[in-house]
A and B are shown apart, each in its own frame.
Chain A
Amino acid sequence: MAGGLLQIAEPGESNVKEACAGRVVGIDLGTTNSLVATVRDGNPECLAVDDAGGRLLPSVVEYLPGSVIVGRQAFLDAATRPRDTIVSVKRFMGRGPEELAGTETARRWTPYRFASKTGPVVRFLVANSEREVTPVEVSAEILKTLRARAEEALGGELDGVVITVPAYFDDGQRQATKDAGRLAGLDVLRLLNEPTAAALAYGLNKKSEGTFAVYDLGGGTFDISILKLTGGVFEVKSTGGDTALGGDDFDRALADLVVKRLAITVDDAAEQRALLDACRAAKHRLTDEPSAVVELRGRATITREDFDEAVAPILQRTFAPCRRALKDAGLDPAKPILDGVILVGGATRTPAVRAFVERLFQRPPLADIDPDQVVALGAAVQADLLAGAGPREDVLLLDVIPLSLGLEMMGGVVEKIIPRNSTIPTGAKQTFTTYADDQTGFDLHVLQGERETVDQCRSLARFQLKGLPPGPAGMARLEVTFLVDADGILHVTAREETTGKESSIDVKPSYGLSDEEVERMLLESYQFAESDVKTRLLVEARVEADRIINATRAALASDGHLLAEGGRPPIDAALETLARTRAGSDHRAIVAASEALDHASQDFAQRRMDDGLRRAVAGRRIGDVERKLE
């Protein structure tokens, strides 16, 4: 379910692939550039994403009336069509408009128009204001381009992908990334934290053991992770970071400096873009040269010292997260004992960053794998592992949840239920009792963050638990289970203890997209797609329809006894409609009919999952399970 925090796997119906070790890739969906990699003959390699054989696809999407351009050309057009060309969309993923208001991302150097009545999701107004697109849709365009290139290179449809996310991405940002993958028609096997991916690329190459720090400064995000490698197990000890800090900020700091030097003001969107591009180019030159010139209505000469001074405050902002991560990993921040420091992200090419990292961790960092490629390479390795390929059976990644999860209590206080840096998957159970007579529901507010009050944490979602049996206060006991899956995404289920009845849960994601919105986007993306894509969509819709039809029939045959009274006819009707629609050529209708069947069988699926869970914990009392999950 997109945007929602409730995802319930239907036993026996999900993602069972016949061909296991098929075409799988790793994707680094970066702020500035995106890459796709795969494992060939045991070695990961990045695939070409343009006709010139380049490996980096600029994460830039240009919307023209009737067409979409992704990559190099869009990047080149950004200066002339700044409002219709979205760069660094990753900064907007999973963020609400009011959340962005007041941040650096929104305030400075952002030429975009936003749709006025936006709800909980940011919407860019593009293609001469003819179209509204969300960050998820923009990211999906990038993913679609990577997908097409990879399918071309591998000679067929992809069987699965691993997409990387900053370790510090919160639940909403992860969900948005998954939604983008789904919109792009990808089977997302796993979201993988970028520093972990980098460690995987290094660790497997070097067969290392020991404790490593991964310092990842990308275009728009900063991550620090501390990992321990033992006998093929990559255990993330701690992670920290800042999702709105990166190399882009160097460009802005440089732009500020240039504007000051030249004593000009830059208000025009196109000129802003041009200035930022010129500053980025200057930044790259300063990696190898002592000075660089930026031209904009004049010439400003920037020396490396000027640059180092301008970016020093930005680097300083990475200090506190590093210190905390070292502490959380049980190391002494003043004298950390590490076996290696790995650099990730294009921004770590900057000499000032390397010097800073060396001072911080008291040892020279490793950078022998291209810092732009290392994450995608690691993701490819993980995709390969998940697909069950290769001889690496003993390799396992144990990752953590970056931020604590908590519940709002009386008085706006947040009670933590899952502490940060807990290894995922992880769970918690809480029991609630009614406080009023004949109370039939509860409101729950889930938050993410380390602070103690609601207004200082990030709101994830509000849940309404309904359908409790009416009775005197304190009678009904509601047990709520929180499970954070291996992607770092939260799932919530609730059960009334005295009756054992599953409560219905209404989810209102505080930010992000509802299921209906993702559906609408799927349909819209079809409208804007070209005809060959349409053919493929039709094939895909039919494959998906077949999958659902077969799975439903199989489920009815094996578990029909679990159906509620009168539960069968609506499912049969939806089955028939889907089978009929499938024969036609309207893929949208097929998708809609598939959804309808999915919807009609939701209750049944839920019952089957309960049954599956019951069997999984057979022979134990609920209280025992509760104790173990505590």
Chain B
Amino acid sequence: MANYYEILDLDPRYHVAARELEERYHAKSKLHHPDRHVKADGTTRVKNALATAELNQAYRTLKDPVKRAEYLLKLHGVDVGGENSRQSHPVDPGFLMEIMELREELAEARGARNEARVDALASDVRARRDRAMDEVEEGFRGLGSPQQDGAGEAARVQAIAGALVALRYYHRFLEEIEVHEEQRATGAA
């Protein structure tokens, strides 16, 4: 079996060089893409179409720092959910309260057309997001490869999981900010 890293001939690490990833992806695409097999027989075409679909999924996942982290964590045995996974992960109630308060504040600021407040909330949550990303990166730095998880690494994996779950809430919050910014930009332009 091949996981996403194996599909792209990469070591299962969090740090991935963007350029190397893209080069591997392009090289593999040139082998399997349906455009290269238009005149081939049906079996070859089906096989290559499936291979390309997997390759595209692999690239999409590994080029995005959050998706890559979620995927790598899954290889370490912890599924925090994410795209196409209905898995849910326990969330700290204190954190949930915090997020709820932030959202309420955002709704109020939007309602009152208080753009300065919206911008302040946006930069607050962006800073939280950046910190969480740092935590993820830091966590993976001390982690071995998925096969060699020692007992001491369970705590590290849990810390990464916590940061990833928090990231998801921040992203949802920032999505709302983006909708707001889009309305502001398209309305004003």
Binding site for B on A (CB under 8 A): 9-17, 20, 160, 189-190, 230-231, 233, 316, 319-320, 323-324, 327, 333-334, 382, 385-388, 394, 396-398, 417, 419, 422-428, 430, 483, 485-486, 609, 612-613, 615-617, 619-621, 624, 627-630
Contacts and interface: CB of A to CB of B under 8 A. Distances in A.
Given A428-B84, A613-B46, A629-B57, A230 B22 contact: yes
A629 to B, nearest CB: 6
Contacts of A388: 38-39
B26 A231 contact: yes
A10 B42 contact: yes
Contacts of B9: none
Given A190-B38, A320-B182, A424-B56, A616 B50 contact: yes
A327 B178 contact: yes
Contacts of B14: none
B189 interface: yes
B84 A9 contact: no
Nearest to B59: A423
Contacts of B3: 627-628
Interface stretch (B28-36, B88-96, B120-128, B133-141): B28-36
B39 A16 contact: yes
A14 B58 CA distance: 28
A149 to B, nearest CB: 24
Contacts of B52: 425, 486
Nearest to A228: B22
Nearest to A630: B84
A548 B44 CA distance: 19
A417 B86 CA distance: 11
Contacts of B182: 320, 323-324
Contacts of A630: 57, 83-85
- Give the interface centre of B1, B35, B56, B186 by most chain A CB atoms within 10 Å: B35
Interface in B44-102: 45-47, 49-50, 52-54, 56-60, 83-85
13 contacts: A10-B42, A11-B41, A14-B41, A230-B22, A324-B182, A385-B35, A387-B39, A423-B56, A424-B56, A430-B84, A483-B53, A486-B33, A619-B1
A423 B60 contact: yes
B155 interface: no
B70 to A, nearest CB: 11
B49 A486 contact: yes
B2 interface: yes
B128 to A, nearest CB: 21
B39 A612 contact: no
A486 B37 CA distance: 11
A397 B26 contact: no
Say which size band chain B's interface belongs to: 35 or more
B47 A612 contact: yes
Interface in B94-153: none
A26 to B, nearest CB: 14
B170 interface: no
A323 B186 contact: yes
Nearest to A620: B1
Given A16-B39, A613-B46, A616-B47, A396 B34 contact: no
B185 interface: yes
A396 B35 contact: yes
Contacts of B45: 9, 14
Interface in B172-189: 178, 182, 185-186, 189
Contact of A396 (B2, B33, B39, B42): B33
- Give the interface centre of A233, A320, A426, A628 by most chain B CB atoms within 10 Å: A628
B7 interface: yes
- Give the interface centre of B38, B85, B178 by most chain A CB atoms within 10 Å: B38
A316 B35 CA distance: 36
A16 B35 contact: no
A425 B34 contact: yes
Nearest to A160: B38
A422 B34 CA distance: 16
A616 B186 contact: no
A550 B161 CA distance: 57
A382 B36 CA distance: 11
A35 to B, nearest CB: 22
A426 B38 contact: no
A374 to B, nearest CB: 20
A417 B1 contact: no
Contacts of B84: 417, 428, 430, 630
A382 B33 CA distance: 14
Contacts of A382: 35
B53 A425 contact: yes
Nearest to A605: B42
Nearest to A9: B42
A14 B40 CA distance: 9
B183 to A, nearest CB: 9
Given A11-B43, A12-B42, A12-B43, A427 B57 contact: yes
Contact of A20 (B29, B35, B39, B185): B39
- Give the interface centre of B4, B29, B53, B178 by most chain A CB atoms within 10 Å: B53
Given A425-B34, A426-B57, A485-B34, A13 B26 contact: no
Contacts of A419: 83
Interface in B1-24: 1-4, 7, 22
Given A396-B26, A396-B30, A628-B54, A9 B46 contact: yes
Contacts of A620: 1
Given A386-B38, A612-B43, 9 more contacts: A9-B42, A9-B46, A14-B42, A16-B41, A320-B182, A323-B186, A396-B29, A486-B52, A629-B57
Top 8 closest A-B pairs, CB basis?
A: A11-B42, A11-B43, A427-B53, A624-B1, A486-B34, A616-B47, A423-B56, A612-B43
Contacts of B26: 230-231, 233, 396
Nearest to B49: A425
Contacts of A327: 178
B174 to A, nearest CB: 12
A534 to B, nearest CB: 30
A422 B56 contact: yes
A17 B39 contact: yes
B45 to A, nearest CB: 6
A613 to B, nearest CB: 7
Nearest to B32: A425
A17 B33 CA distance: 19
A445 to B, nearest CB: 18
Contacts of B83: 419, 630
Contact of B185 (A333, A385, A615): A333
Nearest to B51: A616
A617 B182 CA distance: 44
B33 A628 contact: no
